[in-house]
Amino acid sequence: MRKCLLLFACVLIVGCGGQTIDQTATHDNPFLVAYDTPFDVPPFDRIEESDFVPAFEEGMARQNAEIAAIVSNPEPPTFDNTVAALDRSGELLGEVSRVFFALSGSNTNDELQEIQKEMSPRLAAHQDEIELNPELFARLKTLYDEREELDLNREQLFLLEHLYEQAVRNGALLDDEDQARLKEINQRLSELRVEFNANLLAETNAFKLVIEDEADLAGLPDGVIATAAATAQRDGLENAWVFTTHKPSMLPFLTYADNRDLREQLYTAYTVRGDQNNENDNKAVIAEIINLRVEKANLLGYETFADLTLEPRMAGTPEAVFALLNQLWDASLPVAKREVEEMQAIIDAEGGGFQLASWDWWYYAEKVRKAKYDLDDNELRPYFELNNVRDGVFYVANQLYGLTFVELEDMPKPHPDAQVFEVFEADGSHAAVIYMDYHPRESKRGGAWCGRFRSQNRSAGVEVDPVINLVTNFTDATDDTPALLSLDEVETLFHEFGHALDGMLSNVTYRTTVRSPDFGELPSQIMEHWALAPEVLKVYARHYETGEPIPDELIAKIENSSYFNQGFNQVEYLAASLLDMDYHTLTEPTELDIDTFEKASMDEIGLIPEIVPRYRTTYFAHITGGYAAGYYGYIWSGVLDNDAFAAFEETSLFDQETANRFRKEILEVSGSKDYMDMWVAFRGREPDIGPLLRNLGLQ
Ligand SMILES: [Zn+2]
């Protein structure tokens, strides 16, 4: 299970699509004229920071005019003049939003951050105006009440029900006073989210572990040292090595550095981000977010925020989420405790004379891995050269769905480092364009994600082809070697590419699609199973110097080590998931002391001191965004992806009948159909947790 953020590309109403031409507006603004680019991709080379605010404003004005036309239509409401018209509205606004938020995630600067601060509450208010428009809602309600008699097809009925129910969850049935308060809450929440992320970025960039004494590098592999030297040079430091709290820099240091004090310094710097009582502290920010969310849920008639957000998801209720998380927690905690004992035994045998601490985990886990599985990440990396791994991902997409990929030169790019590919169907027709931007930089936030510059749809009567944006923070090349990925990074690329496939193979009519974290990770997580299949490794995992395929002996080691550290992985993840659920099952606003709440929450489940939740509250960016009461979604999807992959194991790795069914019943209809219906259409029955427990070694 990866740690990515799935960007919900099509938020309600902010549509997706091409471009209308309006020569009367500021003609210099690239958003307001025809793009005239290959595949109509955004003209990144012509967009300037100053273009965004006018384009946002024009986009909102146009959508307001479109909404006004819908509600003033003298004809009685029909599916087409109301639901489909609403779905078609906001084309320009959607376009600008997707470009802006993509750039502010992967290539930000002070100016973009300022614009985000200014625009986020205004965009939230705009969305509220539409969702709480009483005349628009009245038309939706008329259609909703008559929906059985309207002779709608499956997709239309799903869209109508979704729009109506979402409007209700957004307060359409509230009185004026409550609606006004709700709007205030939503605007404040969007401001706080921006503040949280800005604080986090500042905190992540603020700390640098600067090493000047070569002795402090003891234990570190050459590649890691070279990267740290390159980082120091970028920072203008001579004869020094710099490590940061960005994971590609931090994790190798924690894994290999013999100097325990420095490991403690670096890991502590990571875990206190946003919790240092400085100007970037996130405690008050997140406390206000949590309290506003409870207030909002109460206002809407829900007991907790989790009840509100889970209602349209596959899980449905907090009880269902807790039941799954607790079942897995009980299975995982004893495994993690055994891992502690194993590592403590090594410390004791070495005469260490100390208790294993959280900053020691990676270092001693690596020793266990070497001793027990004889698998060394550095032995693997030469077989995982970035472009080879990417070709492996393409190979799997080809074997499953017949897709092929051709790199495009001379394309406008969101950042010069990005690669761009045209994607073709098996019959040679155009399927999509995908951008891939791999390496960390200070203008990019951490983690890995896959967004969309444009989503497939035919809402306006013409087929709109998808433009996908995949972003990661992978190990960079050094002076001596190309980018050589860790096993974890390899799985992350397959994961994110699964999200990309979900976007590229989409085959829906309407722009408005429904995304849920507990189903949305199925297309991505299932791809991780192919990443490490021996037949697939043999194809792409080739030594970057010799071209030799990865030896069988190394493949066997990878297979053997699949249970390695699973106690830690699960406990670290589940702790964060339970923390998320604890915050979002509060039944009323309270005086929230974040550190105390977090500690109580973790004490209650018996988290051991050797493990810190994968995200502590003050840097848990998932829960300030679309994953609030939704971080559990990865493991819920985990039940699904393991059970779905079992369908291939029962037949064959690239079984065409199963692949076609997965494409048709899951990827093509994704976002336009009830989740359980999609699942059952693919698998023929409800999900089974057995394959997940077996694959994690928890059964
Ligand atoms: Zn994901």
Determine the distance separating the centroid of ligand 1 and the alpha carbon of 615, expressed in angstroms.
Answer: 16
Determine the distance separating the centroid of ligand 1 and the alpha carbon of 136, expressed in angstroms.
Answer: 34
* Least confident among 7-16, 381-390, 422-431, 628-637: 7-16
Determine the distance separating the centroid of ligand 1 and the alpha carbon of 659, expressed in angstroms.
Answer: 20
Determine the distance separating the centroid of ligand 1 and the alpha carbon of 515, expressed in angstroms.
Answer: 12
How many Cβ atoms are within 10 Å of 416's Cβ, its own excluded? 9
Determine the distance separating the centroid of ligand 1 and the alpha carbon of 499, expressed in angstroms.
Answer: 7
pLDDT tens track for 481-508: 999 999 999 999 999 999 999 999 999 9
Report d(CA 290, CA 590) in Å as an integer.
9
Report d(CA 530, CA 662) in Å as an integer.
15
Tokens representing residue 443 in the block: 């203008």
DSSP state of 463: P
Mean pLDDT, residues 255-273: 98
Determine the distance separating the centroid of ligand 1 and the alpha carbon of 524, expressed in angstroms.
Answer: 6
Say if residue 96's pLDDT is above 60: yes
In this prediction, residue 441 carries a pLDDT of 86
Determine the distance separating the centroid of ligand 1 and the alpha carbon of 625, expressed in angstroms.
Answer: 14
Q: In terms of pLDDT, which residue wins out, 376 or 232?
A: 232
Note the pTM of the prediction, 2 decimals: 0.85
Nearest to 13 by CA among 64, 82, 87: 87
Determine the distance separating the centroid of ligand 1 and the alpha carbon of 665, expressed in angstroms.
Answer: 19
Q: Which residues pair with 434 in a beta bridge?
A: 421, 468
Say if residue 371's pLDDT is above 90: no
pLDDT tens track for 296-332: 999 999 999 999 999 999 999 999 999 999 999 999 9
Mean pLDDT, residues 511-521: 91
pLDDT band of residue 9 (cuts 50, 70, 90) is very low
pLDDT above 70: percentage of residues in the chain: 96
Say if residue 15's pLDDT is above 70: no
Report d(CA 56, CA 52) in Å as an integer.
6
Determine the distance separating the centroid of ligand 1 and the alpha carbon of 257, expressed in angstroms.
Answer: 30
In this prediction, residue 13 carries a pLDDT of 33
Mean pLDDT, residues 126-141: 93
Mean pLDDT, residues 667-675: 94
* Least confident among 113-122, 604-613, 636-645: 113-122
Q: Under a CB-based contact definition with an 8 Å cutoff, are residues 103 and 414 in contact?
A: yes
Determine the distance separating the centroid of ligand 1 and the alpha carbon of 496, expressed in angstroms.
Answer: 6
Residues whose Cβ atom is located within 5 A of ion ligand 1: 4, 6, 524
Contacts of 650 (CB under 8 A, 6+ apart): none
Determine the distance separating the centroid of ligand 1 and the alpha carbon of 35, expressed in angstroms.
Answer: 30
In this prediction, residue 132 carries a pLDDT of 85
In this prediction, residue 446 carries a pLDDT of 81
pLDDT band of residue 626 (cuts 50, 70, 90) is confident
Say if residue 14's pLDDT is above 60: no
Determine the distance separating the centroid of ligand 1 and the alpha carbon of 355, expressed in angstroms.
Answer: 35
Side-chain half-sphere CA neighbours of 491 within 13 A: 15
Determine the distance separating the centroid of ligand 1 and the alpha carbon of 542, expressed in angstroms.
Answer: 26
Nearest to 179 by CA among 290, 296, 70: 296
Determine the distance separating the centroid of ligand 1 and the alpha carbon of 626, expressed in angstroms.
Answer: 12
Q: Which residues pair with 404 in a beta bridge?
A: 424
In this prediction, residue 537 carries a pLDDT of 98
Determine the distance separating the centroid of ligand 1 and the alpha carbon of 181, expressed in angstroms.
Answer: 34
Determine the distance separating the centroid of ligand 1 and the alpha carbon of 642, expressed in angstroms.
Answer: 15
Determine the distance separating the centroid of ligand 1 and the alpha carbon of 98, expressed in angstroms.
Answer: 18
In this prediction, residue 408 carries a pLDDT of 97
Determine the distance separating the centroid of ligand 1 and the alpha carbon of 520, expressed in angstroms.
Answer: 7
pLDDT tens track for 136-162: 999 999 999 999 999 999 999 999 999
Mean pLDDT, residues 105-115: 89
Tokens representing residue 666 in the block: 């899951």
Say if residue 19's pLDDT is above 50: no
pLDDT tens track for 564-613: 899 999 999 999 999 999 999 999 999 999 999 999 999 999 999 999 99
Say if residue 203's pLDDT is above 80: yes
Determine the distance separating the centroid of ligand 1 and the alpha carbon of 140, expressed in angstroms.
Answer: 33
Buried b (16+ CB within 10 A) or exposed e, 339-368: bbebbbebbeeeeeeeebebbbbbbbbbeb
Determine the distance separating the centroid of ligand 1 and the alpha carbon of 470, expressed in angstroms.
Answer: 11
Mean pLDDT, residues 419-438: 97
Q: Under a CB-based contact definition with an 8 Å cutoff, are residues 449 and 471 in contact?
A: yes
pLDDT band of residue 28 (cuts 50, 70, 90) is confident
In this prediction, residue 698 carries a pLDDT of 81
Say if residue 694's pLDDT is above 70: yes
Contacts of 298 (CB under 8 A, 6+ apart): 587, 588
Mean pLDDT, residues 415-432: 96
Across the chain, what does the average pLDDT equal? 93
Say if residue 1's pLDDT is above 90: no
Say if residue 184's pLDDT is above 80: yes
Determine the distance separating the centroid of ligand 1 and the alpha carbon of 229, expressed in angstroms.
Answer: 32
Catalytic residues: 496
What does 176-213 look like in DSSP terms, one character per residue?
HHHHHHHHHHHHHHHHHHHHHHHHHHHHHHH-EEEE-S
Say if residue 26's pLDDT is above 90: no
Q: Under a CB-based contact definition with an 8 Å cutoff, are residues 107 and 164 in contact?
A: no
Contacts of 541 (CB under 8 A, 6+ apart): 383, 384, 388, 389, 392, 549, 550
In this prediction, residue 566 carries a pLDDT of 92
